[in-house]
Amino acid sequence: MPPQLPRALLDPRPVIIAIALGWLVATIAAFTLPDLHAWRPYTVAGLGVGVLGTSIFLWQRRAVRRGSRGAQSGLT
């Protein structure tokens, strides 16, 4: 049986925050720097997918905390 990972490596929140901030910075750059105007659709799509993914994560985590039978295991 492999050892348990440290709690810091099991927490997805820092990764979600870092990636969201990266997309936000890229979106701001795409809308403020004229040379990056071609990035606009990609950065807006990246933000949208990030919001959708974060919403699903939060929804699943809420289901785990509620004790729903169909919820994923391992989310706290």
| Residue 14 C-alpha from the chain's centroid | 9
Domain contains 18: no
Alpha-carbon distance values, 72 to 1, 4, 7, 21, 35 (Å): 22, 18, 18, 26, 43
Q: Report if residue 49 sits inside a domain.
A: yes
Pick from 54, 31, 59: which is nearest to 44 by CA? 31
Structural domain total, the chain = 1
What is this structure's pTM?
A: 0.77
Q: Is residue 52 part of a domain?
A: yes
- Tens of pLDDT along 8-58? 888 889 999 999 999 999 999 999 999 999 999 999 999 999 999 999 989
> Is residue 5 domain-resident?
no
Q: Which of 14, 36, 13 is nearest to 25 (CA)?
A: 36
Domain presence at residue 41: yes
Examine residue 63 and state whether it is found in any structural domain, yes or no.
Answer: yes
| Structural domain boundaries enclosing 47 | 37-67
For residue 22, is it within any domain?
no
CA separation, residue 3 to residues 6, 25, 38 (Å): 9, 37, 47
